[in-house]
Amino acid sequence: MAKGDTGKAVSVPKNSPATVKVPSLKVYVREAFFMADQGECWIPGSGIAKLSFEIDGKAVAGKNATTNNPHKVAVGLVLTVTLHEAIETKARAATRAKSVECSEATLSLAGVVDGKHVLKVIPEGSSASSDAAGPTTSSTQSRLYRPLNIEFSVKNGLLTAAQETDPNDAKAVVTHGHVTAFKDDELCIDLKPDWMATSAGVHKRTKAVDLIVIHHTGGKVIGPALNEALAAKGPHYEIDPEGHVVKFVADDHVASHAGESWWDGNPSCNSYGIGIEIVHWQPDPPGSAPIPPVQDAQYASLIALLNKLVKDHKLKPHRIVGHSDVRTSKADPRLLGSDRQTCPGGMFEWTRLEDEGLGMIPVKDVKIEDAWGGYFESYKEPLRFGDSDTRRVYGGKPRKDISGVIGELQGDLLTIGYSVKVTGEFDDYTRQAVDRFKRHFYTGTRSALAPKSLAVSDRIDEDTASMILAVSMSIP
């Protein structure tokens, strides 16, 4: 006996082909971000309206085969929830809320023989775009998803396998949706949107895009950052730990991500910048606990996205900075503030971007001896907070044979883009800029070159001086 489309038992004739043994498949689809080790990391997920389905390239008929309304399911009432809950409970703390909202469709499997097949889940308005991210301009829809292809196997009328696949590349890892569970004639699917419209802190841009600011969320999962972006403020893009890119704000709109900020002579980086958040966090305090690095998939997606943005907005590749490079303080909008000095984090490897020609790339073979008044040709003591061109104090000592060292240092930092004032005094502005410079440029493959003074913002040794000069000289 098997169940027909109506749900009533139907008899199976003898010697009939195996195709009639599983005449239907219940599919449950929801919008969710699920991580194997974290469980569902966005609450609330919800059912997705207006889905259609194809099996092996043909539209599928059946009850609710095209869903129109998310089906609200109470905890523990139906199998779909049981399936979802089983994986969630295993992965999550029991105290957290769970999403129990799914869209439900019963698909006819008439004519589907034992063996491998492909189910295509098609959200309304979706396209099989290979773009790095969602729509370039504002969409009138609140959500956009990409279709998800699922390779499934049927044997003796039961599902024996189900796995999302990339139709163009069998080896590719699919990140925009997942099969979260399957059992007999039921299949649970999560889709991640490409586009989640928000109006929180958003308005039309009056200045052209001229900067990209990279952030990290400070969290392990994307959930809080999603909710914040939808409810209060956020960036243009977020990149989850699998490398999936979600877009919230069209590039031609200002988003609220950088706050009080200054770069290359211009305040308020929100007005001319695009914000990208990477889901990752910084140990607090640094070194307190080992954490996984920013994922390769995240770098790959980020690089693809940056290349797209650089092309779309005709940006110069060096106009890619970190939040810590630009964030100034509340009290003094020209003084780099310490409240985001770790963003996008000491584990973010800027050299990965540099290897792709993105970001500020120091020129090679720079000789600091020829610059900064020749200070490092004569002396080895690091320059430090309190040094002064006026008093000709360098490295904490009077050096009457040299002048203009700090002014040159400040000029180079200013050329790079940092918010310093050329005063000839190694002041707070200079100290904060040097701190941010070290945090940016001594990461990734260069972290081994980090000077001993890395943790001390008010010291500049010869290596750091050379690096500052090398970056300054790279700015066109």
Partner 1 sequence: MNTHVPHRVRLSVAAFVAATSAQSAFAHEPKGVSSVCDLTPPTPSRLGFAALPTPLSPEDRRVVKEAELNFQKGNHAEAKVALDPVVAKNPNDGELRYRLAVASAAAGDVRTACAEISRLMELDLVGFAKRYEDDKAFSVMRSSDAGIRVAEHMRAVEVLWRQAMTTGLPAMMSKGARGGMGIWKPSYLRGGVYLHEVQRFLPLEPGVEGASAALVNPQARTVSVLKFATSACKSDFCPHISAVQVLVFSLDDFRRPPSRWRSGEETTTMIDLRSGPRGTAVRIHDCCCWKGCTSPWTSIGPKRAASGDSQSMEMSVDFRGSLLGIAPPGIRIAKGGLLSVGAAAMPLSAEHEPTAVHDILVDESAGARLVFSATDRCECSAKKEGPIFHYDLSAINAKTGTSTVVEHNIGTGAAMLDGKKAVYVQTGDTVRRWPSIASVGKENGMSIMPGVVLVVPRSPSGNCCGL
Q: Give residues in contact with partner 1 (CB under 8 A).
A: 43-44, 93, 95-97, 201-204, 206, 215-219, 223-228, 230-235, 254, 256-261, 268, 270-271, 275, 277, 281-282, 284, 323, 327, 329-331, 337-343, 345
Calculate helix-pair angle for 405-416, 462-474, nearest 10 degrees.
Answer: 50
Minimal distance, residue 370 CB to partner 1, in Å: 37
Minimal distance, residue 97 CB to partner 1, in Å: 5
Minimal distance, residue 28 CB to partner 1, in Å: 20
Length of the chain: 476
By beta-carbon proximity to partner 1, the closer residue of 97 and 170 is 97
Q: CB neighbours (10 Å) of residue 296?
A: 10
Minimal distance, residue 271 CB to partner 1, in Å: 8
CB 177 within 8 A of CB 191: yes
* CA dihedral sign of residues 466, 328, 338, 303: negative
CA angle 78, 84, 90 (to 5 degrees): 130
* CA dihedral sign of residues 86, 90, 91, 93: positive
By beta-carbon proximity to partner 1, the closer residue of 201 and 359 is 201
CA-CA distance, 119 to 59, in Å (whole number)?
10
By beta-carbon proximity to partner 1, the closer residue of 338 and 423 is 338
Minimal distance, residue 260 CB to partner 1, in Å: 5
> What three-state secondary structure class fits 204?
strand
CB 76 within 8 A of CB 43: no
Q: What one-character-per-residue DSSP string does 127-172 give?
A: -----SSS-SS--SSSEE---EEEEEEEETTEEEEEEEE-TT-TTS
- Contacts of residue 208, Cβ cutoff 8 Å, sequence gap at least 6: 272, 313
By beta-carbon proximity to partner 1, the closer residue of 47 and 201 is 201
Minimal distance, residue 249 CB to partner 1, in Å: 11
By beta-carbon proximity to partner 1, the closer residue of 261 and 472 is 261
Q: In Å, what is the CA distance from 9 to each residue of 3, 6, 17, 24?
A: 5, 9, 18, 12
Structure token digits, residue 314: 């005709």
Minimal distance, residue 88 CB to partner 1, in Å: 13
CA-CA distance, 263 to 325, in Å (whole number)?
8
By beta-carbon proximity to partner 1, the closer residue of 81 and 225 is 225
Minimal distance, residue 344 CB to partner 1, in Å: 9
Run of H or E including 210: none
Minimal distance, residue 200 CB to partner 1, in Å: 9
Q: Which residue has 């129109």 as its token pair?
A: 68
By beta-carbon proximity to partner 1, the closer residue of 12 and 91 is 91
By beta-carbon proximity to partner 1, the closer residue of 193 and 382 is 193
By beta-carbon proximity to partner 1, the closer residue of 159 and 202 is 202
Minimal distance, residue 257 CB to partner 1, in Å: 5
By beta-carbon proximity to partner 1, the closer residue of 204 and 380 is 204
Q: Which residue has 């797209």 as its token pair?
A: 308
Considering only the C-alpha atoms of the chain, give the largest distance between any 2 of them, rounded to a whole number of Å: 105
Query: Residue type for 252, please?
Result: D
- Contacts of residue 334, Cβ cutoff 8 Å, sequence gap at least 6: 262, 328, 419, 421, 429
